[in-house]
Structure 1
């Protein structure tokens, strides 16, 4: 396997959020909305927080999706 992202066979969407270049930036509006919805559906309001980074939000979204069997 190669490390060149232009010819690698794995998708960037599979990259660990901890490895994202922009992972420390505030979560996006789309993440904020989706995380809020998922936290309500999973009955885990504590999973939502306004001050999350993109990486933290992504991890919480993945965890909530698993907890309500959306994956």
Structure 2
């Protein structure tokens, strides 16, 4: 296995490791309440999409809803 160059920055890697993207259903903290950042972004997306905003979602549910509304509003591109 080849080593990456010493100046390699994983934050800018166009193909990050497979463990960087996890299904919200598999999050260990997915059942916790929605975060402030999620709520704020979800409120904005909901308004843009003309959809109701639910502040009682879990972190995992909010993540899925954000994905749905990003597709609907075009922000997910």
* TM norm structure 1: 0.79
Deviations, residues 26-63 of structure 1 (Å, cap 9, x unaligned): 01000000000000001112xx2121100000000000
5+ long unaligned stretches in structure 1 = 1-7
State how far apart, in whole Å, the 2-side matches of 1:34 and 1:24 are.
19
Name structure 2 gaps, 5 residues minimum.
1-15
Which residue pairs with 2:7 in the alignment? Answer: none
Root-mean-square deviation over aligned CA pairs: 1.4
* Aligned-partner Cα distance in 1 for 2:49–2:17: 34
Flag the structure with larger Rg: 2
Instruction: Give the corresponding residue for 2:41.
Output: 34
Equivalent pairs, count:
61
Partner of 2:55: 50
